Amino acid sequence: MTTIYSSAKDALASRLFDGAVIAVGGFGLSGNPHDLIEVVRDSGVKNLTIISNNMGVDGLGLSILLENHQVKKVIASYVGENKFFAEQYLAGAIEVEFNPQGTLAERMRAGGAGITGFYTRTGVGTLVAEGKEHKIFDGEEYILERGLVADIALVQAHEADHAGNLTYRYTARNFNPVVAQCSKFTVAEAEIIRQDFIDPNIVVTPGIYVQALVKSMPREKPIEQRTVRPRTEGGN
């Protein structure tokens, strides 16, 4: 059952704790649950393990948790354009477990499906494979990857209904659906909360995965990389 809260703070009340494993949706700054991330920062919880594709950029997204020294470990696919993340990693201030991007997505999907592990050829013969079980299937070498299960998941959706069903907008969908699945307690912030039900044919994340829902606060959406071209004379 999904409960609708009046604020992100209320949605996460009593759920956050030191040492929690938190999965967070987003890719770069697209599809980030900014309101929920700010609540985590303001709560002051420490020694967090963050599962996310990356850690935002300096001063935005998940970077605010790094800058507040609340993160102990990051499970991600790349550092991205976050200088503070790179500095902390190179200084040994935080533990980082890098995953190929597809492997990271599959680890979350597997965790949400109750699959404790799976074999993949991705990463064989690289640093990714070090310390992992190897097996031969049909003459090919595979490594064992474990499913990921978080204590809390934070996701951003475009639309939600009162049953917790979610849809996403364009590239803001990214990792949010698998993040929503891999947690014991999922909180979604949605730009629109409908009074009726979303057409089942377009639901991406079924409400069974979502325990708490809150309407996101209006804000200008940050753009990680803005690429423009000069306007030509008489052009459109």
Q: Assign residue 26 a region: left if phi > 0, alpha if psi is -120 to 50, beta otherwise?
A: left
Q: Is the pLDDT of residue 235 over 70?
A: no
Specify the pairing of strand 134-137 against strand 186-193: unpaired
pLDDT, mean of residues 129-158: 97
Instruction: Give me the pLDDT at residue 236, please.
Output: 57
- Amino acid at residue number 135: K
- 45 vs 50, 94, 229, CA distance in Å? 12, 16, 44
DSSP H or E stretch at residue 5: strand 3-5
Contact present, 62 and 85 (Cβ < 8 Å): no
pLDDT of 190: 98
**What pLDDT score does 146 carry?**
98
By C-alpha distance, which of 80, 73, 63, 127 is closest to 96? 73
What average pLDDT does the segment 160-164 reach? 97
Length of the chain: 236
pLDDT value at position 160?
Answer: 98
Instruction: Kindly list the domain boundaries of the chain, sorted by start residue.
Output: 3-116+149-215
CA contacts within 13 A on the Cβ side of 140:
9
* pLDDT of 125 over the 90 cut: yes
pTM summary value = 0.92
Confirm or reject CATH 3.40.1080.10 for domain 3-116+149-215, answering yes or no: yes
Per-residue confidence band for 226, with pLDDT thresholds at 50, 70 and 90: confident
Residue 20, pLDDT above cutoff 70? yes
Alpha helices (H) along 13-113: 34-43, 63-67, 83-90, 101-112
Q: What is the reported pLDDT for 224?
A: 75
C-alpha dist (Å) from residue 38 to 8, 11, 160: 9, 13, 21
pLDDT score, position 227: 79
Distance CA 26, CA 225 (A): 15
Name the residue among 181, 150, 185 with its Cα closest to residue 3. 185
pLDDT for the residue numbered 58? 86
Say if residue 23's pLDDT is above 60.
yes
Q: β-strand 212-215 against 140-146: which pairing, if any?
A: unpaired
Phi/psi region, residue 19 (left: phi>0; alpha: psi -120 to 50; beta: rest), is left
Beta-bridge mates of residue 142: 135
Residues 72-123: pLDDT tens digits?
Answer: 999 999 877 788 888 888 899 999 999 999 999 999 999 999 999 999 999 9
- Res 231 pLDDT > 80: no
